Chain A
């Protein structure tokens, strides 16, 4: 079919457009579009680009605050750090490509999120990855884990940005649809920011980066597809990344921006040249005119349809003043990159293009971007998780329960994952992977930038509202463990099909919970991404609203530690008993994914986090937040597999809730003897319980004269190393 053939209802359907959407296209144009124009509509109106099912609900999130420089709507969000510095960050999903081709899918996910950050004028300083896999026994699963991890590692390592954090979890709901959420944090001077705006009629449009090939055509619509058994036939749409070209692009773009040669800039991500051209025009209220014959093509005979919709990686679109064209091209060529002037900015808000001297398409901007369809999809309130009747939980072999939990992949030591990543390139890493949050020094300053990704999807499946709020609370606690105060959130909302009212109900209520928590903690959401249609053959993933949170330490004076040392006093801040609903104890030990997930006690959490922040900043305590697996698992982690502890739980508490209860917003703290007085002053007014001290090689926990746990910490640690140990030899 030729690129200029007239569109038909049949073709519209093949492009994933509904009958009504096609009618809407005909109405807005007043004529029948050609195939290229239809492809452009389909790409920009896809769920991935238009957020058509999510936009009305995303408004419920708080997006402003005194530190916010740029909220959602740009390539990434921007928040002030202090001393004239800002941080630019975003998280994005690359789930569908990673399931089809794990290595390239994950690698190009990293490449895409890097471009979203440096396109704003920021230098990327760290990457984090939130990963969800199915049961390791599921078909292809070890292959997927291995491919995704190597893809992330190789791309990040080549491009010279450290991968310093994230999370890995496993659940059978991801058997046919893994999640790869990549987050990038960058830093810039407040006066050195750039935006994706094609402003100033008469200005020139410059194409920069790799040539356009036939790869990835219609990736945006693929990301909006439900997988079925024929998923393998969608394979040619996976792109191959080139991290060395990306590195050149980073340096080239930062130099162009530093020299003030750029008016507007955007990367060509999903829907390639189409989305960058139309979105830049829409933001500036202008139009563009392009000559597609000038676009550097990798293969001969590429049509306007292919040139507009290709998702070849490592490409940027720049808007520059006429006088800057030559200096821009000179800089690009010095970096060895292809750069060509391909068009100019126009007054009229439409994008048109010629090809071989003929008009290829002519489309008004508004219907494609700002006036794209918005849907208020029907949704139902999720059923509240019913309380479960538990077996008697007084006389159990708690040591065996703990060992069972540590042996499950959910608690596996992830060092075989992150040891494949360069964690320290750039020499700014203070706290790297394996800790609660990552902490890096802003280059040339003593300002600390911290980041974490969090989501307990098990809890979100049981109660999307409280689960999503708990994810925000956990992120706040994780940042507190490295002394950082939260300044902003980016979210990556992974759900099933929005056309299913149950899934839509999960989405709406999760957003309400996330919004409520972000308001309570006063942390605005400044960027994010929605990934719908995460399902295969009717099996929907657990709702997974991943929270990426960035924090700041005004002056890093101590390196936070997450382990205790021989002789430290060990304190619990927060409730002595947690709740078992939605806990890992129920899931792993009793085989129950059940029970209510409690709401967050914001006042208590905020007070505890503030105290822990102060303690860590002053080097008065090592901290670990209590989350998955409760106090027992946190204790194993703080032991580092080396130093044991003798802990005594207060009389009268229920052992299961004390050891494995979750949702208590608490911290386990280790305090050196000489710091105890300062510690007591900082924690005044908080619920603090002295549990015991670190000593020996065994973790011994007793309650009312009875020993609940008595295990060698080295052996407990070895259990954690089994779950993902196979990766190191892969």
Chain B
């Protein structure tokens, strides 16, 4: 099944990339954009049909490697 993993910076953490994008948008006239936060979307093709097991494994992988839980949070979505 295809599992979607969304990783984004925790709300209280500075996002220099997002801020740079916001500035570019403002420079191009999109001054109504007040904040940009950049994250990652990962699509994992995972073998196995047990959704609960898959979720547990993917969340484990998120904590171990896909997200830096010191400054990022993640969300796992199953079909």
Contacts and interface: CB of A to CB of B under 8 A. Distances in A.
Contact of B14 (A100, A101, A239): A239
Contacts of A241: 16
Contacts of B16: 240-242, 244-245
A312 interface: yes
Contacts, number: 41
Given A100-B70, A101-B68, A215 B23 contact: no
Nearest to B68: A101
B12 A215 contact: yes
Interface string A180-218: 000000000000000000000000000000100111000
Given A101-B68, A238-B70, A213 B12 contact: yes
Contacts of B12: 213-215, 236, 299
A474 B75 CA distance: 52
B13 interface: yes
Query: Which of B9, B15, B19, B70 has its CB near the most chain A CB atoms (within 10 A)?
Result: B70
A101 B20 contact: no
A607 interface: no
A210 B71 contact: no
A57 interface: no
B13 A101 contact: no
A336 B71 contact: no
Contacts of A101: 68, 70-71
A298 interface: yes
A240 B71 contact: yes
B70 A235 contact: yes
A312 B13 CA distance: 9
A312 B71 CA distance: 14
A215 B71 CA distance: 10
Interface string A150-163: 00000000000000
A104 interface: yes
Contacts of B71: 101, 104, 235, 238, 240
A313 interface: yes
Contact of A215 (B14, B19, B68, B69): B14
B23 A336 contact: yes
A579 to B, nearest CB: 45
A213 B70 contact: no
Contacts of A298: 14
Nearest to B69: A235
Interface string A212-250: 011100000000000000000001101111101100000
Interface in B16-70: 16, 19-20, 23, 68-70
Interface residues of A, number: 21
A431 B14 CA distance: 36
Contacts of B70: 100-101, 104, 235, 238
B14 A213 contact: yes
A240 B11 contact: no
B10 interface: yes
Contacts of B11: 299
A215 B13 contact: yes
Interface in A560-602: none
B68 A242 contact: no
B16 to A, nearest CB: 4
Contacts of A214: 12
B6 to A, nearest CB: 19
A236 B13 CA distance: 8
Contacts of B68: 101
A336 B19 CA distance: 12
A242 B19 CA distance: 10
Contact of A240 (B14, B20, B23): B14
Contacts of B19: 242
B55 to A, nearest CB: 23
A453 to B, nearest CB: 27
Contacts of A213: 12-14
Nearest to A147: B68
Contacts of B15: 240
Interface in A372-418: none
Contacts of A210: 14
B14 A236 contact: no
A63 B65 CA distance: 48
B20 A312 contact: no
A193 to B, nearest CB: 31
Given A100-B70, A101-B68, A236 B20 contact: no
A242 B14 contact: yes
Contact of B10 (A104, A236, A312): A236
Interface string A692-703: 000000000000
Query: Which of B10, B12, B16, B71 has its CB near the most chain A CB atoms (within 10 A)?
Result: B12
A71 B10 CA distance: 41
A88 B79 CA distance: 59
Contacts of B10: 236
Contacts of A242: 14, 16, 19
A312 B14 CA distance: 8
A312 B23 CA distance: 19
B30 to A, nearest CB: 17
Contacts of A336: 23
Question: What are the 7 tightest A-B residue pairs by CB atom distance, in nearest-first order?
Answer: A214-B12, A242-B16, A240-B14, A101-B70, A235-B70, A240-B13, A215-B12
16 contacts: A101-B70, A210-B14, A238-B70, A238-B71, A240-B9, A240-B16, A240-B71, A242-B14, A242-B16, A242-B19, A244-B16, A245-B16, A299-B12, A312-B14, A313-B14, A336-B23
Given A100-B70, A299-B11, A336-B23, 12 more contacts: A104-B70, A214-B12, A235-B69, A236-B12, A240-B9, A240-B15, A242-B14, A244-B20, A245-B16, A298-B14, A299-B12, A313-B14
